[in-house]
């Protein structure tokens, strides 16, 4: 799937764009409570940077950025972070996922931290599943990467 070496424009534009896409993904991730966005969108945007890199520079280059082995660990980690936040609020003596318990003196702050942690979990899982899907599909191509 790697493009020929003469695709200079694509290669340079990708090199310029990939970091910007990643920063934008992080912005959408951590700014989701003030503007549009959140973990789902941020995960896909972040993954799309790696996928773009893989499309232009080849699968092996993308695998060197984030090995699928790491992604296979990160995908369940996001779910565990989400569920773990719920268990934490349980241990603090509140209902499952009622974030007020994180900072009982300032419930609004507790909500903020709780939502941030939960959205991060969503983002990690979505991003790693998207990249894994891309690697799985593109990795078995008839046209070798």
- Could you list the residues that contact other proteins (CB under 8 A)? 1, 28, 32-38, 40-41, 44-45, 47-48, 51, 55, 72, 75-76, 78-79, 82-83, 86, 96-97, 99, 107-108, 111-112, 114-115, 118-119, 121-122, 125-126, 128-130, 132-134, 136-143
For the chain, the DSSP string reads: -PPPTT-HHHHHHHHHHHHHHHHHHHHHHHTTTTSS--HHHHHHHHHHHHHHHHHHH-HHHHHHHS-HHHHHHHHHHHHHHHHHHHHHHHHTTS-TT-GGGGSTT-HHHHHHHHHHHHHHHHHHHHHHHHHHHHHHHHHT-SS--
Nearest distance, CB of residue 69 and other proteins, angstroms? 11
Q: How far is the CB of 65 from other proteins (least distance, A)?
A: 16
Residue (15 or 106) nearer to other proteins, CB? 106
Q: Smallest distance from the beta carbon of 37 to other proteins, in angstroms? A: 6
Residue closer to other proteins (CB basis): 58 or 139: 139
């Amino acid at each position: 799937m790697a493009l020929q070496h003469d695709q200079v424009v694509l290669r340079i534009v990708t090199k310029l764009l990939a970091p910007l896409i990643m920063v934008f993904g992080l912005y959408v991730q951590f700014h989701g409570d003030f503007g549009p966005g959140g973990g789902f969108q941020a995960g896909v945007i972040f993954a799309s940077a790696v996928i773009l890199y893989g499309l232009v520079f080849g699968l092996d280059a993308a695998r060197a950025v984030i090995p699928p082995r790491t992604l296979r660990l990160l995908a369940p980690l996001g779910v565990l972070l989400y569920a773990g936040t719920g268990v934490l609020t349980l241990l603090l003596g509140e209902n499952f996922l009622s974030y007020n318990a994180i900072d009982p003196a300032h419930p609004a702050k507790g909500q903020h931290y709780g939502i941030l942690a939960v959205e991060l979990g969503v983002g990690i899982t979505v991003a790693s599943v998207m990249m894994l899907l891309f690697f799985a599909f593109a990795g078995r191509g008839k046209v070798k990467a």
